Amino acid sequence: MNMVLLVTSSVFGEKSKSRQVALELLDAWRLSHPGANIIERNLDAQSMPHLSGEGLMNPTHLADRLIEEVEASDVLIIAAPMYNFSIPSTLKAWIDHIARAGRTFRYTESGAQGLLKGKKVFVVVSRGGVYDGVPNAQIMDFQKPYLRAMLGFLGLTDVTFIHAEGQNVSAEAAENGLARARSGIADAVPQILAA
């Protein structure tokens, strides 16, 4: 597993907690796969246009390149902060560009079939509040269920989520959230070593 695609989507750039944790995960990957090739795709308003009707009917060179990056990758690391209970619009735009009938999924008599199989996906989710495992808050989490469903639709079913929650609750909650994320990375190391 020599090709890793790192996708970041925070409006905070270098100060992003999801990016910080994703880079720590990438460092763990590099330690056990020293020859790995890394593609980094930073999604912002300038680099990731939203899908247009024209782009949907006639995919652009950018969309082709985005799909090629995913197809070439053995591992995807997606840094996904929560904005308004969901994902950043740039990450949604990236998904819109890579979801292409006949290329990354197809329709069959038994339903849709994802074509991006055999890849390992790590999703680092950062959140201001705490949602995972909290029933009253979990109902507002449209981030993780959407990502799991959409990635699965594309054939990406081997998905591990790493949580950095509580980032806006208090300084202590933020540190606890980062500690939990680092514990998630440690838990993922066996998967990394096995790849």
Structure tokens at 166: 């509580």
Q: What is the pLDDT of residues 34-49, one digit of tens each?
A: 888 999 999 998 999 9
pLDDT of residue 23: 96
Q: What is the DSSP letter of 135?
A: H
**What are the residues whose beta carbons fall under 8 Å from the beta carbon of 92, sequence distance 6 or more?**
86
- Give SS3 for 153: helix
pLDDT of residue 138: 85
Domain ranges for the chain, please list them.
3-194
Q: Roughly how many angstroms between the first and final C-alpha of the chain, as a whole number?
A: 6
Transcribe 31-66 into DSSP letters: HH-TT-EEEEEE--TTT-PPP-HHHHHS--HHHHHH
Helix axes 171-194, 17-32, angle to 10 degrees: 30
pLDDT of residue 142: 95
pLDDT of residue 19: 96
pLDDT exceeds cutoff 90 at 158: yes
Just give the CATH number of 3-194.
Answer: 3.40.50.360
Q: What is the pLDDT of residues 78-123, one digit of tens each?
A: 999 999 999 999 999 999 999 999 999 999 999 999 999 999 999 9
Mean pLDDT across the stretch 165-187?
A: 93
Q: What is the DSSP letter of 190?
A: H
Distance CA 185, CA 174 (A): 17
At 144, is the pLDDT very low, low, confident or very high (cuts 50, 70, 90)? very high
Mean pLDDT across the stretch 57-65?
A: 85
pLDDT exceeds cutoff 80 at 195: no
Mean pLDDT across the stretch 48-70?
A: 86
pLDDT of residue 1: 59
Mean pLDDT across the stretch 135-144?
A: 90
Mean pLDDT across the stretch 1-25?
A: 93
Q: What is the DSSP letter of 86?
A: B
Query: Amino acid identity of 101?
Result: A
pLDDT of residue 21: 96
At 3, is the pLDDT very low, low, confident or very high (cuts 50, 70, 90)? very high
Mean pLDDT across the stretch 163-192?
A: 91
Q: What percent of the chain has pLDDT over 90?
A: 76
pLDDT exceeds cutoff 80 at 154: yes
The pLDDT mean for the chain works out to 92
**What are the residues whose beta carbons fall under 8 Å from the beta carbon of 180, sequence distance 6 or more?**
163, 164, 165
Q: Are strands 120-126 and 158-164 parallel, antiparallel or unpaired?
A: parallel
